[in-house]
Structure 1
Amino acid sequence: MLSLCLPQPAAAQAEIRIGVLDFLGAEATVDEWSPLLHHLERSLPGHPLSLLQLDHARMRAAVIAGELDFVITNPGHYVELEAELGASRILTLDGGGGRSPERALGSAVIVRAERAELGTLKDLRGQRVAIVGREGFGGFQLFWGALTAVGLSPDDDLAALHAVGFPMNRVLEAVASGRADAGVVRTCVLESLGAGAAAFRVLAPRNEPGFPCATSTPLYPDWPLASLPHTAPALAKAVAIALLSMEGGRDGLAWAVPADYQAVHELFRRLEIGPYAYLREPTLRVMAQRYWPWVGGFALLMLGWILYTVRVEYLVQKRTAALSAALTERDRLEASARAAQEQADHLARLSVLGELSGTLAHELNQPLATITNYASSVIRRADNGRLTDAALREATAEIAAQAERASAILGRIRAFARKRTAAREGVEPRELATEAIALFRGMMARAPQVSLVDTLPAGARIAVDRLQIQQVLLNLLKNGYDASREQPPARQALEVRLASTDGKLDISVRDYGSGLDATAQQHLFEAFFTTKTDGLGLGLSICRSIAEAHGGRLIATSPAAAPDSDSGPGTCFTLSLPGLTCDHAHD
């Protein structure tokens, strides 16, 4: 039957060229694969046979050049040739003796027998390890996979990787000589040494039932026999049939139907080598293949976001007209409120001036009467012929001084009463208080004594509406005067104190009157509440509004509870304003 599968006549028989991966050395390779050659010579007479012993690189080059019809190599190398050059397995080696085609290969990590401190793979951290080469399946790649399983990296966690090349016996020599602390060989290589194996031991041996050799890694399928794309299908079929008839006990080797090499693919995918080396390249395609669930989720998220954005845009456009109308109405109401507030402030200032109008007329009468007396004196002296230059200079100087005094009083009142838009500017608190006191005393016929106590640092300034704050101080001084004018002269004095607390300006106006009862203090700042028989009850309400518009507050306390104030009768009003600064250039 074998002869029927071969082309005729015998003179035209095709040559069978087989490439074998050489990992034990030329002599050992010939010994291992001689049974295969002898069997093929008997089974396929007339076919010239050639067996080439090659390393990884030379085997790949020979396949590309078409110099081989079949290859016998380790599973890892086969997977690479399959993905790159189209190799196709037709048989898998059956080693027998407890090794099935699916569970035949592993790596043994060997150390010298006396190295008792090395017990597990994790103990290899910081050690020197000898390997055949990075392309070796049983000589490195299986070991690499086992290291990653315990959280170690051969490049980052080992002291060094010594690639000693083929044959694999060089790994044993490196460990025996001390050039390496451990070495990686294919399973069963150590057991094949016989008595020489006693010098070594296998690190972290696994429990693999029925497997005859010690292994440090999981087991993988045995070596495959693979045909190449240019191999004639009839020739591949003839060789497969011939080799399937081999028996291990009789012929020294045995072959089985192709094993499943998916475990090798999974290892290479995890290590990102061989056909899966592209996974190391950060391309958009690779990222999409690796993270497609995340990409899909992100795409759905983006789609949802777009739909949400479109809906929000629709709602925004739908409500824009209503919002614009509402904003316009708000601006109109704010402008109206500002105009009403300015009008109320103006009326409050006029109210204060109205309450002081009687004393103001008396105050102006003094400089006017003095002017009249000096003018009359000049006329009489001129009529009597006694007008000297010195007397004329004295009279005119006094007339000018009294006129300036009256003009200053009227100027301060005109500025205070003028209606204008609120505007804030940086002012010195002492200057602000001094002007308010001067305005208050200038409108009083018998003004009480007003003392100013300034504890502020030099150069202190604050941004306020000067006229509004003066309006508050003038109102507080007038209330203090009204509360104490029925008292003895010693208790009619008023005190203004300037102090700072946590970056705030505190202006306190204290009187020594009869004070406020609990009911009056509770309702003191309510509109239209007053303790005066002729008052409107708007002054303190407007003053508190001015304070709050500046971000501050206005409170009334008894002198004992006021800061930096002595105890005693009366009431202490404190205006607290934020934003006090100190210009050191004035120090």
Structure 2
Amino acid sequence: MRSGATYRLVVALGVWLVLLASPAWARTEVRVGVLAYQGEAAAEHDWAPLARALDQALPQHHFELRYLGLNALWQAVEHRQLDFVITHGGQYAAMESQLGASRIATLDNPRWPSPGRAVGSAVVVLAARHDLQRLDDLAGQRLAATDPQAFGGYLVALRELHQRGIEADDLSLTEFSGFPMERVLDRLETGRADAAVLRGCLLEELVRSGRIAPGRFRVLEPQSFERTGGYPCQVSTQLYPDWPFISLRHTDRALAKSVAAALLALRPLPDGPSWTVPADYQPVRDLYRELEVGPYAYLRDTTLMARLRGYWWIFLALSVGLVGWVIHTVRVESQVTARTRDLQRALTERDAAHERLLAQQEEASHLSRLSILGELSGTLAHELTQPLASMANFAHSMVRRLDSGRYTPELLLQASRDIASEAERAGAIVQRIRRFARKRGAVRQDGVPPEMVQDALELFVRVLAPAPRIEVRDSWPTGSTISCDPLQFQQVMLNLLKNAWDAMQALPAHQRLIEIEIGRQPAHCTISVRDHGCGQDDAGMARLFEPFFTTRPDGLGLGLSICRTIVEAHAGRLVAQRPQDGGAGLCFIATFPAHD
């Protein structure tokens, strides 16, 4: 009996030692609170990939995500039940002020123009409410929102109304439905509210998922952000920074550093978010200060008499200082005048320097165009020789017929027409070259990308003989345009075509192929130019857009740098990447803001 008990004790002790030595047993738990504004199931679907990625990046830890509402999340932080928090920028601003929280990363969603301009509010009404067309029409109406502390679900829209002179007291009623946020739409459907506040893009997501019918609701006063990179959804307000990943006051600093490094190193996940360096949340603080809520709620209860009673000694010191300031003002008046003159002179010099910089940039762009023509001018003579030779042949034929007497008016008329046609052809070639080489300032106008690409191709083929085979795939929708300088657009295209041609010089003529694809994303025009040449190694890819970097012995290394500057000046992007099919060559992709 004793030997059996001893045996069981030894076995239990061995199992305990094995579990203790196991890496999984030794993993520490990291608790991350996540704001579940659409409910726990939706939050788990959105954020579970992040937990798995962090588990893989930091295998010594196990990340547990807890999905909570606004109040529950705040209470969990106060009771130190969490190590990190993922929530909207408004709650972060309050936690930073009152609980000592700090951001270590910000969501980086490719759908938004930038991490600092990602969150807005959509004020939604029933499509049949034709009496509500502007935010100003909401005065005296009933408003449905998620929670008094909801950022995109209430406060962002409230600030927009405040800036139009409509306060919360001016509304007939503000009813808060709680989470999930889509409950506010039930208030509209049942007639309990005239308007509702949704976080930006939630309405579009509900329509795509089939949970609400298209056209049932509409957004009041949709804002336009085309000049600043566009926005994929309809919102009624300005944009604010995306959600931060927050480290708390009691969080271990070494753990916070490890998590921050892991977040920034994560590759974009197919079903999860990616992260970037912390954004500037000053616009969020400005919102709270303007509305006098959250960390600035004390401003509502402050009156002049209360301040006088509580801070009399400050007002006394200010009074003494005011007397001293009056005396001091007389003495420094002359100094202020002198410094004002110096400042005006400095501003004048700065403006002059800015004008010189713009002129130098235009000069560099002009020289780049001349460089392209210079590199291609060797073949320009061949293109002009054909019409000139034809005109000479027609003229000599007319002379011979006149000398021999074998001519008719019809023959002379046809020969004259042929000479005129060839002269117009040569003149068109020269005029196109002159227009491209002409030095002038930038002029923006609406243009159709396929037409502008075709103009660039005609010029490229004209001055290049023999030209490579060029295939164009055009999926550009009818009626869409982009705002750009046609000459600068043509300069970018010629640079990319010339680079593609140079990259394929080692190939046989029948293998030289340039592929061009023109398409549209929701708010952007995308133009890609691909060659099938030698490509670039990793070091070359990293330096492609550096000024004066070139792989050609006779190159200046300015073409791609100037092209990127031109595209970015049009609020676009120019990137280079290897072909997705794994083939040879490089693919340059330029994007421009598009509009209908």
Bin for the TM-score computed over the shorter chain: 0.3 to 0.5
TM-score, normalised on structure 1?
0.47
Higher-Rg member (1/2): 1
Give me the TM-score of the superposition, normalised by structure 2: 0.47
